[in-house]
Amino acid sequence: MHRLINSISLHFKKVSSFSVKDKPLPFPQVAMPVHVFKMLGVETLFVTNAAGGLNSSYTIGDIMIVKDHISMPGLTTDNPLTGFTNERFGEQLPALPELYDSGLRELAWSVVGELGLQKMVREGTLVQVGGPSFDTVSVFNMLRRLGADCVGMSSAPEVTVARHCGIRVFGLSLVTDMAPMESDLPPTNHQEILQTAEVRARDVQKLVCEMIKRLPNNNTSST
């Protein structure tokens, strides 16, 4: 354990020294905690987020199992692996197929069936924007045209780093609101998002806990 703590603190020191002249690299802010998970032996990462529905067949309160993501910040050089030089965790120019593990998605669907949640569960593509402001009607329509089913402000960078260093990932988005696709619709409202999250928290918790119980070599059957 002592050696592990030493190597973690060494990693923090090495990585936190990264910076370019005008801003710290995104790498340390996202990758470090994920690399600490890796060093602690974590094999599977679950990520959840609140997202706005873009797909008109979705409704508020739906749970979307994330099949893939589009990272808008990542497309504009804000990639969590920027400045990455330590091949200890993975190659420098990686391809990252199947970011969201297909086996975990199949497991999710079998648990959804047993919990009777089928009617409110989807599977689709999450697009992550930088935030913190909500986007305009034109941006929401653009994101839908890009193939996204819902839009959030987190998950993509930590998933990228986790997959890069060999941690399996499962992601789910709670559709807390429907993104306004017409200018005469009410704007996104954070209070509505919090309320939906409150209402659906128990179902999300049941799904995640039941999945964790069934992960291979997991002895949490008592939870």
Ligand X SMILES: O=P(O)(O)O[C@@H]1C[C@H](O)[C@@H](CO)O1
Helix ranges restricted to H, 40-115: 72-75, 102-115
User: What is the x/- site pattern for ligand X, positions 151-190, by CB under 6 A?
Assistant: -xxx-----------------------------------x
User: Nearest distance from residue 33's CB to ligand HPA, in Å?
Assistant: 21
| Strand ranges, E, within the chain | 44-53, 63-71, 121-128, 150-152, 168-178
**Smallest separation (angstroms) from ligand HPA to the CB of 191:** 12
Indicate whether 141 belongs to the interface with ligand X (CB under 6 A).
no
64 binds ligand HPA (CB under 6 A): no
28 makes contact with ligand HPA (CB under 6 A): no
- 164: part of which helix (H) or strand (E)? helix 156-164
CA dist 23 and 126 (Å) reads: 27
Stretch in the footprint of ligand X (CB under 6 A) among 59-67, 89-97, 148-156, 201-209: 148-156
What amino acid occupies position 24? Answer: P
Q: Give the span between the Cα atoms of 147 and 128, in whole angstroms.
A: 12
Write down the least CB distance from residue 189 to ligand X, Å. Answer: 9
Instruction: Give the one entry of ligand X, ligand HPA, none that residue 190 binds, where binding means its C-beta sits below a cut-off of 5 to 8 angstroms depending on kind.
Output: ligand X
Question: Do 124 and 55 form a contact (C-beta atoms < 8 A)?
Answer: yes
Instruction: Between 9 and 136, name the residue whose CB sits nearer to ligand HPA.
Output: 136
Q: Which region holds residue 94: left if phi is over 0, alpha if psi is between -120 and 50, else beta?
A: beta
**How far is it, in rounded angstroms, from Cα 143 to Cα 74?**
15
Number of residues that bind ligand HPA (CB under 6 A): 13
Does position 52 interact with ligand HPA (CB under 6 A)? The reply is: yes
Tell the smallest beta-carbon distance from residue 150 to ligand X (Å): 11
Rounded to the nearest whole angstrom, what is the least distance from the CB of residue 38 to ligand X in the complex?
22
As a whole number of angstroms, the distance between CA 63 and CA 120 comes to 6
Residue type, 100: Y
Could you identify the residue written with the tokens 């305009």?
Answer: 136
Which CB, 101 or 135, lies closer to ligand HPA?
135
Asked if 50 interacts with ligand X (CB under 6 A), we say yes
Where along the sequence are the contacts to ligand X (CB under 6 A)? 49-50, 131, 152-154, 190, 193
